[in-house]
Chain A
Amino acid sequence: MTIQQVFMIPLSLGMIGLGIRMVTQKQKRFFLGLAWLTIGIGCAVAVYNPSFLKGQDSASLVLRMRIVLGFLSALVLMITLEAVRRFAMEERYALLWVFTGVILFIFALYPDAVGWLAALTGMQYVSAITVVVFAFLLLVVFDFSLALSELRADQRRVCQHAAELELRITELEQIISRLSG
């Protein structure tokens, strides 16, 4: 048993336990629990059999990439859904993330799906996936810019209105003090 295993096995077991507790608890945090379960199982497998990840030839590079991508997209999906469930994220923004997660998950299961992109650009699987991920991140960031602009416009309206109301209150106070005094 190596030092890594000594540390990692209890850690991954702990994560799995945490995941199970979250899923089965009365006050459910279902998707986050699933996320912890995924990470825990992933760590446990990696620690139990490191050669599983090492791979011997170039074909396993794609395999490893697919495994990582599968876990990653599942994580994205779960965290997003959990955030929506807790009202921490609006559906409008969640939609893009969910879409990203689903697409990546499909690419992880069916590597041939990126074939068209690879054929179009001559890229290998890994770089094709990187391009897909990058494109979606760009989309998400763009959406944030839109949201930010909208928020700034709203904030301006609210701010101006508050100032107008304050001025009206001062004027009313002056009228009142003149009437009573």
Chain B
Amino acid sequence: MDDILKKTLVIIPAYNEQAALPGLIAEVRTAAPGTDILVINDCSLDRTAKVAHAQGVLVLDLPCNLGVGGAVQSGFRYAFSHGYSYIIRCDGDGQHPPSEIPKLLAAMRVGDVDLVIASRFLENDKDSYKSTTFRYAGIRGLAFVLSLICRARVTDPTSGFQMMNRPLISYFSRSYPLDYPEPESLALLRRQGYRFREVGARFRPRITGVSSIHSMGAFYYLLKVGLALLVDRARTVNVRYARHNVIKEMP
């Protein structure tokens, strides 16, 4: 277990999360001891960067707001250039409980996959996630479409609580969607020949901040992701970063 954790970077994208960060970092340290932690401050308006520095973790301080996709990708780039073998992404708002990280680790250790996603909907525990009907219907619809596209079951297409290995990090550090990246990145990675698996996990209500997908944004979200999924189908596979080629080049 320790050898995986030593090669793992936990990335925490954070936007205005000064209140949630110290607790979250402490939790990560108990749940995944020995990992390096990288907080990506997406140009917050509050003292997120300062709070993170005080916790003694690595901090990437983005000089302008890039959105979730751009922020997370800067974490991928850091992990790739510094030789990490695994990344665990855990959002700064406290929705992703670090206590569930061992589940991700276990699934990754089984092997055979490049990406492990924590899903809110896999366990038959309806109370674990509270949401508006509209948002729930949107997520279900998206999950259905994405399952068809990926030819694999997807239950939680918007989950950002993930663990991935180095070949996938290498691909994502080159190309990753800008905003609302999770569903589109799934379709992308499948097309490049990578594999993923979902594991059931309990999420928490966010501690601070608001969802990046607010009520009006939900429509935009569906349209944007729908368009992206459609157009991605028409793109050619980037052979250079297809799974079998990337793995060939890994030492």
| Chain A interface residues toward B at CB < 8 A | 152, 155-156, 159-160, 162-164, 166-167, 170
Which A residues lie within 8 Å of B74 (CB)?
159-160, 163-164
Counting chain B CB atoms within 10 Å of each CB, which of A152, A156, A162 scores highest? A156
Is the Cβ of B66 less than 8 Å from the Cβ of A160? yes
Q: Is the interface of A mostly helix, strand, loop or mixed?
A: helix
| Chain B interface residues toward A at CB < 8 A | 40, 58-64, 66, 70, 73-74, 77-78, 81, 178
Which A residues lie within 8 Å of B78 (CB)?
164, 167
Is the Cβ of A159 less than 8 Å from the Cβ of B66? yes
Which B residues lie within 8 Å of A170 (CB)?
59
Q: How far is the CB of A151 from chain B (nearest CB, A)?
A: 12
- 19 of the cross-chain contacts (CB-CB < 8 Å) are A156-B66, A156-B70, A156-B178, A159-B66, A159-B70, A159-B74, A160-B62, A160-B66, A160-B70, A160-B74, A160-B77, A162-B62, A163-B63, A164-B74, A164-B78, A166-B61, A167-B60, A167-B78, A170-B59
Counting chain A CB atoms within 10 Å of each CB, which of B40, B63, B81 scores highest? B63
Which B residues lie within 8 Å of A160 (CB)?
62, 66, 70, 73-74, 77
Complex: A163 Cα to B75 Cα, angstroms? 10
| CB-CB nearest in chain B for A155 | B64
Q: How far is the CB of A3 from chain B (nearest CB, A)?
A: 52
Complex: A108 Cα to B91 Cα, angstroms? 60
Is the Cβ of B60 less than 8 Å from the Cβ of A159? no
Q: A162-B62, A167-B59 are in contact. List 19 more A-B contacts (CB 8 A).
A: A155-B64, A156-B70, A156-B73, A159-B62, A159-B63, A159-B64, A159-B74, A160-B62, A160-B70, A160-B74, A163-B40, A163-B61, A163-B62, A163-B74, A164-B74, A164-B77, A164-B78, A167-B58, A170-B59
Q: How far is the CB of A73 from chain B (nearest CB, A)?
A: 36
Complex: A70 Cα to B216 Cα, angstroms? 46
Complex: A159 Cα to B70 Cα, angstroms? 9
Complex: A142 Cα to B8 Cα, angstroms? 43
Is the Cβ of A163 less than 8 Å from the Cβ of B60? yes
| CB-CB nearest in chain B for A170 | B59
Which A residues lie within 8 Å of B73 (CB)?
156, 160
Which A residues lie within 8 Å of B178 (CB)?
152, 156
Complex: A98 Cα to B59 Cα, angstroms? 48
Counting chain B CB atoms within 10 Å of each CB, which of A166, A167, A170 scores highest? A167
Which B residues lie within 8 Å of A163 (CB)?
40, 60-63, 74
| CB-CB nearest in chain A for B71 | A160
4 A-B pairs with least C-beta separation? A160-B74, A163-B60, A156-B70, A163-B62
Q: Decide yes or no: A164 and B70 within 8 Å by CB, A152-B178, A156-B178 being known contacts.
A: no
Q: How far is the CB of B240 from chain A (nearest CB, A)?
A: 18
Q: How far is the CB of A171 from chain B (nearest CB, A)?
A: 8
Complex: A163 Cα to B63 Cα, angstroms? 7
Which B residues lie within 8 Å of A162 (CB)?
62-63
Which B residues lie within 8 Å of A155 (CB)?
64
Complex: A155 Cα to B60 Cα, angstroms? 16
Complex: A164 Cα to B59 Cα, angstroms? 9
| CB-CB nearest in chain A for B173 | A160
